[in-house]
Amino acid sequence: MTEKQGRTHPRPPKVTGLPHLFEAAGYSVAGARRLWRETAFRHIVAAFLACLMLFTFLGASGQEIALLFVLFFCLVATEALNTAIESIVDHLAPDWQVFARDAKDLGSLATMCLLAANAVFIVAVLARLLALIMKDNL
């Protein structure tokens, strides 16, 4: 454990009402900054933007684009939880431990399941759009 990880700080006082909303938003922004340091997350964002441009260019419906956003945000949430699990496990078990491996593997599985769900949806939409384009060109 590093010196920085070993330091403890007093718990800040509980905030309620509207200030709590602003603090919660600040925590979310800090989480997004932390997640941005993960290469996998940057790949997810790049793939989402590429798919969004492709869907728009090919004429995907509003519902298809909305579902792309929903699946993307579900994937981001899962990747954030996976990263949180990895951070906690790395802190609790700096050496190899079975529980650490299992926790990381399960977090990875959750992310992979949502990646697969995104891929199935994207392929289905692209197949539909390309079939329409080919039909129109006949």
Q: What is the DSSP string of 11-44?
A: PPPP--SHHHHHHHHHHHHHHHHHHHTSHHHHHH
pTM (predicted TM-score): 0.84
Place of tokens 């309620």: 16
Tens-place pLDDT, residues 44-59: 999 999 999 999 999 9
Tens-place pLDDT, residues 64-114: 999 999 999 999 999 999 999 999 999 999 898 999 999 999 999 999 999
Q: Which domains does the chain have, with CATH numbers?
A: 39-136 (1.10.287.3610)
Average pLDDT on 30-56 reads 97
108 is in an annotated binding site: yes
Indicate the pLDDT class of residue 1, thresholds 50, 70 and 90: very low
38 is in an annotated binding site: yes
104 is in an annotated binding site: yes
d(C-alpha 9, C-alpha 2), whole Å: 15
79 annotated active-site: yes
136 is in an annotated binding site: no
DSSP state of 10: P
Task: Say which residues have a Cβ less than 8 Å from residue 86's Cβ, sequence separation at least 6.
Answer: 104, 107
Q: Which of 3, 23, 64, 79 is catalytic?
A: 79
23 is in an annotated binding site: no
